[in-house]
Chain A
Amino acid sequence: MKILRASRMERCIGCHSCSLACARLVHKRLSWNTAGIRISSAGGLSTGFEARTCVACNPAPCATACPTGAFSQRKGGGVKVDRSLCIRCGNCAEACPVEAIYIDPEESFPYVCIHCGRCVPFCPHACLELADADEGRQEYGGGQGTGTGRDHGGQ
């Protein structure tokens, strides 16, 4: 199983192309919120950017907290989502330790990364990668990938 890793966020330019791609392609929305990956800047634009996205917990506390089975454990980490079962209680977002789940204030549906990787080709600086779930869990918090973005197939 593959998982999405935002492993090179120090390269991020804050274009939000990843969030917009997720919303457009996965959720059929124009948004930078209703997406499985969201970019924020802590402390203003001079401090760089961070990604709010699922870190593929295994077991996933959000799946445990879900009372209807709408969120269920995904092999390799993270969750599978069946939206038709969701009762919009918001327990998943509360259980998430890294604030990766966005609850849309209009309809109260949760939005979480499903590790499909459709955002990856839209990052112009190769900050994101789709990696094997069991390939060295990020003990040190950063990716060791070698992608260099624009110059070497970042598209």
Chain B
Amino acid sequence: MRIDFTSSRVLHVDMESGASRVISFGTRSAHLGGSGLAAALYTEYGLADAPADDPRQPLIFAIGPLTGFFPLMSKVVCGFRSPYTGEWSESHAGGRLALAMRFSGYDALMITGRARSLSCLVVGSRRVEMHDVHYMRGQDVFTAGKYMRRFGADRHGHRSSLRIGPAGENGLGYACINVDSFRHFGRMGSGAVMGGKKLKGIVVLGDGSFTLPEGKAYPALFKKIYSDVTGTDMMRKYHDLGTAENLLVLNELHALPWRNLQQTSDPQIDGISGERFAEQLLLRQTACAGCPVGCIHIGLLRQQFASDHEYLYKQVSYDYEPIFAQGSMLGITNASGVLALLDETEKVGLDCMSSGVALAWAAEALEKGVISEKETVVPLRFGDVHSFIAAMGHLVRGTNDFYRLLGQGAAKAAAEYGGEDFTCVLGQEMAGYATGEVFFVSQAMGFRHSHLDSGGYAYDQSAKDKDVDKAIDFLVDDEHKRVLINCMVSCMFARKAYTPERLQEALSSLGMTEAADALTDAGRMVQRERWRLKIATGYDVNAVRIPKRFKEVVTWKGPVDVAYMDALKQRYARAILDMAAAGGGEN
């Protein structure tokens, strides 16, 4: 096969009719790929006036022009209307999916409509099939994964397997899509979008191959980048302790949220530090396809299931954010306890960050008497692994009104039951950085309400002053650089290796000189277009509220400066509205 670099090749599958077609879409130098491609596809095929849970709304998976060609170009952007906010959103995941999509010959997979019966989609370079999988209804992520191995069994090693658990089928606002057992499209509820389409799983076969451009420029640049990311210390922290090394660092800074952000540091950190995980539970590292770094840390969960010496073992991936959300935030101080909770979250198909932070709010609400055990059913207590595992079950099944609301986010439950002051919600359940004003504003207002939209947490740690303009300029500019990465679609860990200039060089080496020349401007347009879409689908930047709990935080710098945070908020709102106003469709 040959790749057409001038436009994007999109496979559109309509679950309603079962029909599919290949579309040659748009102009590469305008939408670039990944984030820009997903936004452009939504602009063309999305229904701005219909609600997010309308099954006709597209669910889009998009890779970029450099996917598979260079190291760490190993991620996929999932674009969708979020069931959590109702707005246009994105989630990113790795695993084998990016390369499997590349080798199946598609820049994007776009799914619309709802199937008549629970279905599994199988996509390859020469195959598009829909299978009735009614027998998989309600199955957990692991069981579903095992059943799905029968699809494309001759491609094992190269196929990618996406599936949802009961959380996605039941429409929870933060249900995730599991990718290849250890990676996820987490946050913002992409799993519920899949569930709404009665789409239990997708298998992407990755069975094609491509002719490379002539000349020495491409292999030479590959070698240089490969040597940068493997031969220097640039990536060491990611494969050594992994992101979990941040637990000790942030705890020391008084910036690690504990017990629903009632504390920012705790001497019991040693029980759940990256060092503790690595020394006692780390089984091995693994990698996304196309990435030689291998940052995925797999821990050993050993559980006794009978009174004699009867044990089972499981492999559970861990990282900084999951350990924060299902560890410190829930007051768990034992690494195996964190793995047990993560394993349960994984099984039911919930986003581990959002579910951990939502349950932390519930535990504090129960502690304070805002709610009772009538609501929580189980006696939720900080530090009690078993009560949180039981609560996870109630959450996924939607046992009562309380859990059904909590399944749409802590803020929705608090609006009904009280306790809004201590919801740790910044647009969605917080990420693990109590670093201060800039991060709180950047997550609360940012495009995906994610710590990955821009480096606000890093800015908090390095800034010596409280210059509002400087901080917001940083957020906007850093977001721009990340938009370029998200259009290609590289792993965010490689952002130092993939400067805008390096990306231009990479595009040129493959013959995409037009996209290379247009890169910076196209990136600005994608940044604007994403904001425009978010606002067009319901985002009111002036309605964003930062709960009281964040104003009470004390970090290594002292108490949060509420006036500074308000000024940042107003200035960022203006910047976002300016960006959106300047936006427009790619054509």
B-contacting residues of A (Cβ < 8 Å)?
13-17, 20, 23-25, 28-34, 38-42, 44-46, 48-49, 104-106, 122, 124-125, 150, 154-155
User: Quick check: is B481 within 8 A (CB to CB) of the other chain?
Assistant: no
Tell me the residues in window 202-247 of chain B with beta carbons closer than 8 Å to chain A beta carbons: 206-212, 219, 222, 226-227, 230-231, 239
A33 near B292 (CB under 8 angstroms)? no
Q: Tell me the smallest distance from the CB of A26 to a CB of chain B, in Å.
A: 11
User: Chain A binding site: helix, strand, loop or mixed by DSSP?
Assistant: loop
Which residues of chain B are within 8 angstroms of A29 by Cβ–Cβ distance? Answer: 209-212
A16 near B290 (CB under 8 angstroms)? yes
Tell me the residues in window 290-312 of chain B with beta carbons closer than 8 Å to chain A beta carbons: 290-294, 296, 298
Which residues of chain B are within 8 angstroms of A154 by Cβ–Cβ distance? Answer: 230
Contact flag A14-B212 (CB < 8 Å), given A39-B157, A155-B230 = no
B286 near A14 (CB under 8 angstroms)? yes
Q: Report the separation of the CA atoms of residues A28 and B105 in the bound assembly, to the nearest whole angstrom.
A: 18
Which residues of chain B are within 8 angstroms of A106 by Cβ–Cβ distance? Answer: 1, 208-209
A28 near B289 (CB under 8 angstroms)? no
Q: Tell me the smallest distance from the CB of A43 to a CB of chain B, in Å.
A: 8
Contact flag A104-B209 (CB < 8 Å), given A13-B285, A45-B181 = yes
Which residues of chain B are within 8 angstroms of A25 by Cβ–Cβ distance? Answer: 219
Tell me the residues in window 117-145 of chain B with beta carbons closer than 8 Å to chain A beta carbons: 126, 145
B286 near A16 (CB under 8 angstroms)? no
Contact flag A30-B68 (CB < 8 Å), given A15-B291, A40-B157 = yes
A30 near B289 (CB under 8 angstroms)? no
User: Quick check: is B156 within 8 A (CB to CB) of the other chain?
Assistant: yes
Number of A-B residue pairs, CB cutoff 8 Å, is: 103
Contact flag A13-B212 (CB < 8 Å), given A24-B219, A155-B230 = no
User: Chain B binding site: helix, strand, loop or mixed by DSSP?
Assistant: loop
Q: Report the separation of the CA atoms of residues A150 and B294 in the bound assembly, to the nearest whole angstrom.
A: 11
Contact flag A31-B210 (CB < 8 Å), given A13-B294, A16-B290 = yes
Which residues of chain B are within 8 angstroms of A13 by Cβ–Cβ distance? Answer: 284-287, 292, 294, 296
A30 near B212 (CB under 8 angstroms)? yes
Q: Which residue of B lies closest to A32 (CB)?
A: B158
Which residues of chain A are within 8 angstroms of B222 by Cβ–Cβ distance? Answer: 24
Contact flag A124-B180 (CB < 8 Å), given A105-B126, A155-B230 = no
Contact flag A17-B292 (CB < 8 Å), given A30-B68, A30-B212, A44-B145 = yes
Instruction: Give the contacting residue for A23; candidates B71, B180, B209; CB below 8 A.
Output: B209
Q: Which residue of A lies closest to B231 (CB)?
A: A155
User: Quick check: is B182 within 8 A (CB to CB) of the other chain?
Assistant: yes
A30 near B219 (CB under 8 angstroms)? no
A41 near B103 (CB under 8 angstroms)? no
Which residues of chain A are within 8 angstroms of B289 by Cβ–Cβ distance? Answer: 14-16, 32
User: Quick check: is B69 within 8 A (CB to CB) of the other chain?
Assistant: yes
Q: Tell me the smallest distance from the CB of B159 to a CB of chain A, in Å.
A: 10
B149 near A15 (CB under 8 angstroms)? no
Q: Which residue of B lies closest to A41 (CB)?
A: B157
Contact flag A28-B212 (CB < 8 Å), given A44-B149, A45-B180, A46-B181 = yes
A28 near B211 (CB under 8 angstroms)? yes
User: Quick check: is B315 within 8 A (CB to CB) of the other chain?
Assistant: yes
Q: Which residue of B lies closest to A106 (CB)?
A: B1
Which residues of chain A are within 8 angstroms of B3 by Cβ–Cβ distance? Answer: 30
Q: Tell me the smallest distance from the CB of A38 to a CB of chain B, in Å.
A: 7
12 contacts between A and B (CB under 8 A): A16-B99, A30-B102, A30-B209, A33-B208, A34-B209, A40-B158, A41-B157, A45-B180, A49-B157, A104-B209, A105-B126, A124-B293
Q: Which residue of B lies closest to A35 (CB)?
A: B209
Q: Tell me the smallest distance from the CB of A29 to a CB of chain B, in Å.
A: 5
Q: Report the separation of the CA atoms of residues A44 and B180 in the bound assembly, to the nearest whole angstrom.
A: 8
